[in-house]
Structure 1
Amino acid sequence: MHAITVTEAGGPEQLQWSEVDTPTPAAGEVLVKTIASGVNRADLLQRQGHYPPPKGISEVMGLEATGTVVELGPGVTGISEGDEVVCLLAGGGYAEYFVVPQGQCLALPKGVDAVTAAGIVEVAATVVSNMDHVGLKPGETFLVHGGAGGIGTFAIQYAKALGCKVITTAGNERKLEHCRQMGADLAIDYHDDWVAAVKEATAGDDFPHKGVDVILDVMGAKYLEMNVDVLAIGGRQVTIGLQGGRKGTLDFGKLLNKRATVTATSLRFRPLEQKAEICQRVAEVVWPMIADGRIKTSPETRIPLPEARRAHEQLDGGDNVGKIILVAP
């Protein structure tokens, strides 16, 4: 088979369409012939050498993909050869075939084609598991940074579907308008003083109280102090990305006075049983929201899998809106 390989850590030019061995499914795994694979910012970090896969996992990038089951490993039940599945992966999706634990395979959401579905499961699993983790509740105020990306587009809609007020940040008017169309109550250009804008907005009658109850943060260190500044009493921040750096400073006095929580999680390195539970949660909660229109799929750019370099260049460029999906030959 062929897969996207990385000659050495670096830029998109390091991505190559190479011939590699086809993987063999182990006990509890299935072999899937790829239809499409979603592109995530974590893939860019892996390409740069900053986010290696867990031990024993394929070095090939790709955290989500759809395909057709072609072989069952020992002990697999409930899945048949020929089934179309959407899969949460720890790696391996940028290839013509991949192996995946049975518990991380889901039937495609109703009404969504297999290519589009390849860009849903990783963002859905990330957002749902983290909102469960911090206990986002109806009527609360929710802030997500990077609202025009895959995570942001989904998170805005998911929080609105739960009955929350939603604030987001993005980098230009085209992206801000996309966030509004997805349901954001307030979309702020992060080049401006977004902290002041959040404080002013949440002090008004349109929001339940002063400050933000839950923040889904992809920035890490750069926004740490600013995020805590806009948290409400009892607010919770969960960090899932480090686009703004790894090491920051924090005024624990402010955190203490607000009785607030700052936490961080990673989906890729969780135990298999936890990933299976998260996938089941996505099927139970998110798939019905997609079926009845409460959550719409992201705008998408489809690029042939052998041209993954172009996909990474587009995501690296900063102007992308929605999801980039690699389509297998």
Structure 2
Amino acid sequence: MALSSSSSSSAANIFVLSLFMLFLIGSSNSAQLSENFYVKKCPSVFNAVKSVVHSAVAKEARMGGSLLRLFFHDCFVNGCDGSVLLDDTSSFKGEKTAPPNSNSLRGFDVIDAIKSKVEAVCPGVVSCADVVAIAARDSVAILGGPYWKVKLGRRDSKTASFNAANSGVIPSPFSSLSDLISKFQAQGLSTKDMVALSGAHTIGKAKCSTFRQHVYNETNNINSLFAKARQRNCPRTSGTIRDNNVAVLDFKTPNQFDNLYYKNLINKKGLLHSDQVLFSGGSTDSLVRTYSNNQKAFENDFVNAMIKMGNNKSLTGSNGQIRKHCRRAN
């Protein structure tokens, strides 16, 4: 039976209204990150972040690597949402104490200082997730690496998950090459992205507990003199104090963001097992050679991969919140 003209018009109006509502919902929940997000809302955010990061890195160069690592670990667990910064509460056990984080993450006090300074100039505007993203970029640039425009507009998670952080999504320093490739692919990152992002280990330090096995047991894929030198500050037997002894990830230029990390791998002088597997007769050898010979190629691919990782499942639009304090939800 044919519809009347009034019925047809009414149905059409309802259909159009439904599409419009879906558009509004999609717009509010799927807003895109933008380099210009704070141009009008908080143009001074970049100077505020950079001043604190610069002071922290000048005081301790290792902090640059630590702030960069915070960004990685935040993005790999439920997206770049600042959840890694949350302290435990009565309603959830957060990500900080999960083994992949408790063994390596630091710099939370620096993020607190940045957030405090940003809140003083733009209260309630800049998310903790964006603070972490900008601080990671500034850490790289301050230590001589590339500068890029960070895409912004993330919002903060209201909760965190110990189980998610401890589920194996964060690559381990003991990972095989195939495991590294699959874990990065799970985050929408290619093998090239993975090798480029691993170059973050051109700065920072690692604990003895993360490289002991590599320097004592993997004689076929490590330079013997390099291994013996690392053993001096990392006894074979474990213990709390000994496990916390640290070594630089790039023994050549540990405080300079450059491509020496890849040159070290070619000489079998990668500190972590997960470093050296990138150059061990596998599919990533050619990328390591490329980056060791061409710092600009490394920097370009690193920047592209950082931007790509930073887009990972970010909260935008009306999702999440802008936390007043990075350690707790509002």
Greater relative contact order (Cα < 8 A, sep 6+): 2
Report the TM-score, using the length of structure 2 for normalisation. 0.26
Greater share of residues in helix: 2
Greater share of residues in strand: 1
Report the TM-score, using the length of structure 1 for normalisation. 0.26
